Structure 1
Amino acid sequence: MTTTLSLHPPSARLRLSEQSFQDGSARRIDGAWWPRSYDLTAELPGLLARLPHRWGQISSVLVNGAMWSLSGDGTRIEDQGVHLRRTDLPRAEHTICLLAPGYGRWDLLVVPPAATEAEAERLMETATADAPLAGRTA
């Protein structure tokens, strides 16, 4: 089962896998996010506001440095400091990693902002399908 959290109806901008809510599930991708731009400081507050409370307070975010526009190394969201980090690893090119001390780590597929609604829906559905990762096709 897939849980969809809507940022701006009618199109869903965040979709989380139901498996990401279960303890002990080993997934490489916990959901998919379709931001409106690659300006992380502008997009991050909306994303964090829609995450499940059980994920805890996100304190650190890791993104691909070449893909995202960042101003500084942190931002304040509802009086909470969030450390922004960059990586140049090719395997992290289309993901965002969210870390919450004492709660865990969650990796979201980032759907390109320029994607059409149909493309975004297909990518988000594929990323959050409950089928085992080994059985998925790209």
Structure 2
Amino acid sequence: MTATSEPGGARASHPEPPARLSLVPEGVAPGRLGGAWWPRSRDLLRELPPLAATLAPSWGEILRVTVNPAHWPVIPRRVPVTGHVIHVGWFEQEQDAEEVVVCSFVPRRLDLLVIPPETEAPTAEWLMTAACEPANTRTATELLAAAGAPTEGARTGG
């Protein structure tokens, strides 16, 4: 079962740290993925605003994000960010459990490997580099498996 929520409660006003993100360099055709994102938690209300802020200068205003609910215990339908709202959706079967798809106003689409928050730094660094390789043909799940990081199937026993 996937839980959804509507943003309602006030959050602390302390600024979130910038998103841990690596992207294929501008002007280079991406491989299978456009980069990798290493969130600090599994809280989309907390994690999406820094991701949107980091992407905005080069990707424009982020309007929609799709996730696989395997990663996120609660999926808010809308996430407020500076000046607008990001609409969040999910695809359980069609989308790799280890990936997030970001769509911008421009319009552009960015497929990112989601590195589990509990991943150790050396492994996360390798994954961030591997996901940005223009010659990469591996899926997000395949990259995590190659790095020895737990995939959603391994985390849930499936």
TM-score, with length taken from structure 1:
0.78
Judge conservation of contact 2:31–2:137 (CA < 8 Å) in 1.
no
Q: CA RMSD in A?
A: 2.5
Question: Is 1:7 aligned to 2:10, yes or no?
Answer: no
Aligned equivalents of 1:49, 1:75: Cα separation in 2: 13
TM-score, with length taken from structure 2:
0.69
Aligned equivalents of 1:60, 1:69: Cα separation in 2: 19
- Partner residue of 2:11? none
Residue deviations 1:22-55 (CA, integer Å, cap 9, x gap): 28x3532111110011111111111111115231
Pair 1:14–1:102, CA change in 2 (3 A): closer
Question: Is 1:27 aligned to 2:34, yes or no?
Answer: no
- Stretches of 4+ moved more than 2 A in 1? 25-28, 69-72
Judge conservation of contact 2:67–2:95 (CA < 8 Å) in 1.
no
Query: Aligned partner of 2:97: which letter?
Result: E
1:91 CA displacement:
4.4
Aligned equivalents of 2:18, 2:30: Cα separation in 1: 26
Question: Is 1:95 aligned to 2:99, yes or no?
Answer: yes
5+ long unaligned stretches in structure 2: 1-16, 147-158
- Partner residue of 1:3? none
Pair 1:39–1:134, CA change in 2 (3 A): closer
Question: Is 1:133 aligned to 2:140, yes or no?
Answer: no
**1:77-116 maps to which residues of 2 (within 5 A)?**
77-89=81-93, 91-116=95-120
Aligned equivalents of 2:107, 2:57: Cα separation in 1: 10
Judge conservation of contact 2:61–2:106 (CA < 8 Å) in 1.
no
Identical pairs, percent: 33
Number of residue pairs the alignment of both structures matches:
125
7, 10, 24: which one pairs with 1:17?
Answer: 24
Judge conservation of contact 1:40–1:69 (CA < 8 Å) in 2.
no
58, 68, 72: which one pairs with 1:68?
Answer: 72
Say which SS state the counterpart of residue 15 (structure 1) adopts. Answer: strand
